[in-house]
Amino acid sequence: MYLHLAHFGVFLALLAAAVSLPVRSISTGARMAFTLLGLSGLATATSGCMGMLTGCSLNLVLPIGLPWLNSHQHLDPLAGFFLLIVGGVTAIISLFGPSYVIGSVSNLAAARTLAFFTGLFVAGMYLVILAADAFSFMVAWELMSVASYFLVAHDHHKKENVDAAFIYLLMAQVGGLFILLGYGVLAGFGSGFTFTDMQAATLPVHWQHIAFALAFIGFGMKAGIVPLHVWLPQAHPVAPSHISALMSGVMLKVAVYGFIRFCYGLLGTFHWQWGVIILLVGCASALLGILYALMQQDLKRLLAYSSVENIGIIYMGLGLSVLFASNGNPVLAALGLVAALYHCINHALFKSLLFLGAGALINQSGQHDLNRMGGLMRLMPITAMCFLVGCISISALPPFNGFVSEWLTFQTALQGTVLDSGVTKSIIAVAAASLALTGALAAACFVKVFGIAFLGQARHQDTLQAHEVSFGMRASQILLASGCLLLGIFPSAAINSMQTIPTDLLGIGLSQVESGGWLWLTPISARASSYGAPLVLFGISIAWAGAYLLLHPRRRKTPVRYSPRWDCGFGSLSTRNQYTATSFSQPIRRIFRPIWPIDERVDPPSTAEDGGRYSVHVGDWAWEKLYLPLGRMIQRSAKMVTKIQGGNIRTYLAYSFFTLIVMLWIVI
């Protein structure tokens, strides 16, 4: 029954794509499409939730696909968990979409295209999670990738959109090829292309390593791990904000799902080398992602790099899980897996919230650049408060959800002392230190974002015209912010409901999570560590109430004395006296300068009244040292190949003749 409900959700998503084509009004088409998408999200989220809670594994064979291979579909706890993420976030974003599309898209053809490929994109993500054979998986994967390409390139009149979409599609296809080869290795040693046949295959050790490497690269390219991340900061700034929320908050988790399914479900064995690689790449992604985010002034580009950071944190949890599983510690392996999964759902919530908040800001102010925002908290108070919740959550501060999943990752890393290898212990210690540094830098990054965008004075005239967004756009942000708070306050109940996943994949769950009662989250044992989220919230509330009673001007017995602001000797205060996003990150840029290729310029004043101009451009070493040289090499090779096309028929006949001679020599 639950599997049929999930397929009904797929049908509604495809129907949302279909109904958008014949409409003659942007508003009508947007409302119809997003209503159907919302219903599809509710259906799949309900199906996934029930599949996760019951722990059942449901299978269905559909009479479609290849002549000799029908389409196999399944719903188990792991698939149910990710269906819950994809469906739940899609349902909430469907509240945001209509007003955003109506307000930002003025062309009917563009609106139809946007709605059509949004429906296909969502349906593709559902089908990837439900697929139980390699052919169905790859077809759904390509549907998801190609549909999202058209969403990135929807405003194709702008060169940056086309370039970003091309890079995204190119990397998606290369990643898909690696995934296909990984499935090919498993199918070559198995008896078929279904996941059941692949799981039963017996691979030699070196082929296990090859299959793991192919899956790690293929799924990592879609997930955005370093150095395969370069498409994220290019695609997200040009995509519509609700699409960015779906891609960053949801699609990246589909890639994580594919990797977990491949390693934990299909390979079914673990090597400590895999854990070290996953852990180190996760550390690099987390640390470099947040350092690159700190240097950005474009709000959506900053959030894209932040997604690289959070994917790195997820991979750190998976790396620890694989390390402990290979060492024969299934309970600690389950803890690392749960930490990674919990961060998946947390990141889906707070990153979707931040992208929707960014969309609301851009929709009202018309600005992507943080340096041209400011003072928006007075004009958009509800959006500001929801965005603040997202900033606190992504900074891993209690009592919100981001703190819990990072705390669980720390607790997993602290158990590294049970391992025998001193080298592995040292690597885990360095990883824990990297995670701590990442958390501190994330807090600094989002203090910058919120302070520059919402506080102070407006830095651009267009910002003064902003006002609060529509009810649907506000409601979606409030729901996501509430989810961040609830998962932060009641982590024990949430993690306890996920017990079926590690039990299904590793044969053991975390039975001690609620051993101290529902108030306490106990990952290992009450003697080792515990976290009382409701009590932390209670303490914070008491502190806030006390501060209000003691310090609020209306509660003071003596009146507050008001005096002019200190102008630092500059005279009257203006927007030029305020910190900018560039100046806020300048100290960190000085400390970590070798991390980025930096082009910093100070242009001298042209006149006596001109104060000069300062500019700084922060690049990406991966793009400049890896991808650009590779692109130039491919272009040079292509030019060399074109030289054989001389236009002379005798030359072409000679090519054919010598090719025939070589082929005959090989055959004979």
Closest by CA to 366, choosing from 467, 294, 265, is: 467
What percent of the chain is modeled with pLDDT above 90? Answer: 46
Rounded to two decimals, the pTM is 0.93
Q: Is the dihedral of CA 247, 6, 344, 539 positive or negative?
A: positive
Closest by CA to 61, choosing from 77, 48, 74, is: 74
Q: Hey, what amino acid is at 337?
A: L
pLDDT at 67 over 80: no
Q: Which of 259-273, 547-561, 584-598 is most confident?
A: 259-273
What is the pLDDT, as a whole number, of residue 306? 93
573 pLDDT band, cuts 50/70/90, is low
On the 0-12 / 13-18 / 19+ scale of CB atoms within 10 A, 546 is exposed
| pLDDT tens, residue by residue, 152-183 | 988 777 888 888 888 999 999 999 999 999 99
268 pLDDT band, cuts 50/70/90, is confident
What is the pLDDT, as a whole number, of residue 646? 62
pLDDT at 370 over 90: no
pLDDT at 610 over 60: no
535 pLDDT band, cuts 50/70/90, is confident
Residue 463 is given by DSSP the state: G
Task: Tell me the mean pLDDT in the region 576-594.
Answer: 81
H or E element at residue 210: helix 205-223
What is the pLDDT, as a whole number, of residue 522? 84
pLDDT at 605 over 70: no
What the block records as the tokens of 509 is: 């769950």
435 and 442 Cβ atoms separated by less than 8 Å: no
Contacts of 200 (CB under 8 A, 6+ apart): 190, 191
Task: Look at strands 598-603 and 69-75 and give their pairing.
Answer: unpaired
CA distance 146 to 152: 10
Q: Hey, what amino acid is at 102?
A: I
Task: Look at strands 69-75 and 613-618 and give their pairing.
Answer: unpaired
What is the pLDDT, as a whole number, of residue 570? 64
| pLDDT tens, residue by residue, 98-132 | 988 888 877 888 888 889 999 999 999 999 999 99
Q: Which of 21-25, 337-341, 502-506 is most confident?
A: 337-341
What is the pLDDT, as a whole number, of residue 285? 94
pLDDT at 405 over 70: yes
Beta strand residue intervals within 344-449, DSSP E? none
Contacts of 658 (CB under 8 A, 6+ apart): none
Radius of gyration, CA atoms only, the chain: 26
80 pLDDT band, cuts 50/70/90, is very high
Beta strand residue intervals within 323-421, DSSP E? none
487 pLDDT band, cuts 50/70/90, is very high
Domain boundary assignment for the chain: 1-200, 270-520+578-595, 621-667
What is the pLDDT, as a whole number, of residue 479? 95
Question: Cis omega before residue 559 (within 30°)?
Answer: no
What is the pLDDT, as a whole number, of residue 39? 95
What is the pLDDT, as a whole number, of residue 483? 94
2 pLDDT band, cuts 50/70/90, is confident
What is the pLDDT, as a whole number, of residue 86? 95
Greater pLDDT, 656 or 5: 5
Q: Hey, what amino acid is at 97?
A: G
Task: Tell me the mean pLDDT in the region 510-521.
Answer: 76
Q: Is the dihedral of CA 168, 174, 177, 181 positive or negative?
A: negative
- The 3-state DSSP class for residue 74 equals strand
What the block records as the tokens of 656 is: 């054919």
